[in-house]
Structure formats: structure tokens, C-alpha cells
Amino acid sequence: MQRDLLVIGATGKTGGYTTELLLEHGHRVRALVRRIDGRTERLTALGADVVEGDVQDLGSLAQATKGVDALYFTYPIQLGLMDATANMAQAAEENGVRAIVNMSQISARRNTASNAARQHWIAERILDHSPVAVTHIRPTFFSEWLINMWDGSGMLRLPFADGRHAPIAASDQARVIAAILADPVPHAGRTYPLYGAVELNHYEIAEEMSRALERDVTYVPIELDEFQQILEKRGTSPHMIQHLLAVSIDYRNGVFSGMNDLVKKIGGVDPLDVQGFVTQNRSFYDRYSV
């Protein structure tokens, strides 16, 4: 059945893939973007109804949710998640939206040192009080992390000791999100931890990357103060740095580890493994190599 769906964060990683998939499946998709620019032209060309708006502005959300059956909500790790969530929930309720898929994260819990992870947990609780049916997704670290942190040197300098996770690609998360939006009822009230194909530590991740890139990639475990310096040099926001330092400790303690079959069961595909993801993004790695 064709549905009227809204994707918030449509210029982002999970929102972008979700928009594409929903359009491919014949749904009518409205894409909320902060501004019309080169990135949004592609969404329009694919058939999305691109509208400008801001999740910090209730009025624009009220407009964007008109006539919508279900929506996907994601917000970056930035200040303002609480306001954004409350605005979105209010607009969805006012306009009779029947289902929300809410991006959270695996480390979301009440007693966490990360402000961003705690805010995700509170955002989940706010949405649980909404009359709209909600499904929370809680992915582990994205595979895209292996792009974000790539400095071209072939060394992964990260503070993760020998902790483990199964990196999950945004495109695989989109499969799950799109399937829930298309048929939300069985998923109402559920919280889904999402994982990629294989759980690995960063020594093993580096080996997989080496195979895919046919060059040496080495994991260099570092301490938190060095990680903080790297992030500050990159201009990372204080909110994100606070989050990443806190979840690095979580990571060492196994909070990001685990596996399940939800990508296959709900999304209908086998998730990408590290080799598959890096091979897909080979041109990026070839471009940024020193």
C-alpha cells in the first residue's frame, strides 16, 4: 500500500537512504530539509516533495506533518534534541500522524556519562507518552564512523582498547526504517537495537579494511586525552566531544557489542560487513590517502 511519509533529516545519512528507498517502493515522500540547495536537488529529482523547515520551529513541523501517515525522525548529536523531539511529537499528534520511527542509539540510558546518550533516552521517554505509535531504533556505531575518522594515514587512532561492535551501515538501517514506515503496526512500542553483519574489535576491523583496500590499515589504541586532542583539532563541538569520550568508556565496557538478525528480519537484507562497506566506499579511501 502506498503511504504518505515524512523523512526528517533527509539530507543526512540514514534519512537520505530512507528517502531513496521509500520512493523506490512507490511511497509519496515529503523530505524536510533546512534549506533547498544542491543536495536537495537530487531528492527532488528522485521524486520527493522537498519542504524547508526546522525541527526547532513548531510551525514548520506542523506544516510538514499535514497529511502524513508516518514519519522518520533523526537529529544529529547537537544541542537541542529535547526541543526538537517535543516539537515533532506535538506536530505529529496535532496532524494525526499514526507512527514515528525515532533514531536513538545503543548507549541511550538514564545513567550514562554522555549527555547526548542521556538526552536520547529522555527523548525516547517523551515519545513513549505520545498517542502516536513509536518505534525506537538503537544502532551501535555506524560503519560510516570508519569514514569520519579516516585521516588518510592508514592508522585508526582510537581509544577503544579491544572492545567490540558490529558496524552497521546507514543504508542497512534505512532498510529497517523504510520497512517499519511502510507497515508500522507490528513495530509499535518496540525498541530495536541494530547491528551490522559481524562483531569485531578494532584490530579485526583494521584487518578487514586492509583486505578491502589492499593496503595496510593499522589500529593504534590510544588514551582518552589523545582522542580529545584529535577531536579538538578537527573542530568537533564540545557536546560531541563530551559524548565521544563518555561512549569510548562504554565501548570498552561492551555497551556497543552484540548482534541480532533484525536487519534481515525487518529490512529483508543481510547487513554489510566491514569489507563490503569499505569496498563500496573505496573511491573515498583512495582519494584520501597519504
Ligand X SMILES: NC(=O)c1ccc[n+]([C@@H]2O[C@H](COP(=O)([O-])OP(=O)(O)OC[C@H]3O[C@@H](n4cnc5c(N)ncnc54)[C@H](OP(=O)(O)O)[C@@H]3O)[C@@H](O)[C@H]2O)c1
Binding site for ligand X (CB under 6 A): 9-15, 34, 54-56, 74-77, 103, 105, 139, 141-142, 145, 170
Shortest approach of ligand X to residue 15 CB, angstroms? 5
Residue 72 falls in which region: left (phi positive, over 0), alpha (psi -120 to 50) or beta: beta
- Cα separation, 28 vs 138, in Å, equals 26
Contacts of 214 (CB under 8 A, 6+ apart): none
The alpha carbon torsion through 33, 39, 42, 44 (nearest 10 deg) reads: 30
Q: Which residue is nearest to ligand X (CB)?
A: 12
Shortest approach of ligand X to residue 34 CB, angstroms? 4
Residue 145 or 259 with smaller CB distance to ligand X = 145
Shortest approach of ligand X to residue 256 CB, angstroms? 9
Shortest approach of ligand X to residue 214 CB, angstroms? 26
**Residue 62 has which C-alpha cell?**
506542523
Residue 145 or 154 with smaller CB distance to ligand X = 145
Contact 218, 156 (CB under 8 A): yes
Contact 92, 4 (CB under 8 A): no
Shortest approach of ligand X to residue 75 CB, angstroms? 5
Shortest approach of ligand X to residue 94 CB, angstroms? 18
Residue 103 or 255 with smaller CB distance to ligand X = 103
Residue 34 or 42 with smaller CB distance to ligand X = 34
Q: How far from 5 is each of 26, 163, 203, CA to CA, in Å?
A: 11, 38, 41
Residue 76 or 154 with smaller CB distance to ligand X = 76
Instruction: Determine the 3-state secondary structure of 92 from DSSP.
Output: helix
Shortest approach of ligand X to residue 259 CB, angstroms? 15
Strands (E), the chain: 4-8, 28-33, 49-52, 70-73, 99-103, 133-139, 155-158, 164-165, 191-194, 200-201, 218-221
Residue 95 or 105 with smaller CB distance to ligand X = 105
End-to-end CA distance of the chain: 50
Residue 1 or 110 with smaller CB distance to ligand X = 110
- What is the distance of C-alpha 93 from the center of its chain? 24
